Amino acid sequence: MTAITELNVNECISSVTLSPVSRLDLIKYAGASGDFNPIHTIDEEAEKAGLPGIIAHGMWTMGNISKLFTPYMEQGFIQSFSTRFTGMVFLDDVLTLTAELADKKEEKLIFTVKAVKQDETTAAKGTVIFNLY
């Protein structure tokens, strides 16, 4: 694990590639988050909503992105975390999560974060401002 304080601009913290998205992942997230919108868990409901199949909660993807920073949470904290959900995530999609240091301003480390699918399309993109203690 690279020390987060030693990163240079344009360098990344360790990326993570998730297992293919499973229905159980989304059922667990629905239960833990309280978001029971059935387009995330029940095929017929997703189809009724005009989708080809169930889609992952955007917040599931965002929650997964945050774990890139968890190992550093005693050196600082996430002061700001913003994401745009730019593409839908379906069952069996494989997401790779990345965080690249875009800028440094004293105690603030500004990262560009992304969740990219196996076909190279972006499912979520945003910014994390990590504030060092």
Partner 1 sequence: MYKHLIGKQSEKVENQVERGAVAAFARSIGDPHPLYVDKEYGKYSKYQNNIAPPTFPRTFSYGTIPGLHLPVAGLIHGEQTFEYKRPLLIGEEIYCHSKVENYREKRAASGHLGFLTLINIGEDMRENNIFTSKVVLVLTEQAREGEDYYDSNHRA
* Residues that bind partner 1 in the complex, under the rule CB under 8 A: 18, 25, 28-29, 31-35, 37, 39, 48-50, 57-60, 62-64, 66-67, 69-71, 73-74, 77-85, 133
Which of 9, 73 has the CB closer to partner 1?
73
CB of residue 53 vs partner 1: minimum separation in angstroms? 15
Shortest CA distance to 122 belongs to which of 107, 112, 133? 112
Which of 6, 34 has the CB closer to partner 1?
34
- The dihedral through the CA atoms of 59, 86, 119, 99 has a sign that is negative
CB of residue 71 vs partner 1: minimum separation in angstroms? 7
Q: Which helix (H) or strand (E) holds 63?
A: helix 58-66
CB of residue 11 vs partner 1: minimum separation in angstroms? 22
Backbone angles phi, psi at 67, to 5 degrees: -70, -15
Which of 12, 51 has the CB closer to partner 1?
51
Which of 58, 101 has the CB closer to partner 1?
58
Q: State how far the Cα of 23 lies from the Cα of 40, in Å rounded to an integer.
A: 8
Backbone angles phi, psi at 131, to 5 degrees: -100, 115
The amino acid at 57: H
CB of residue 102 vs partner 1: minimum separation in angstroms? 17
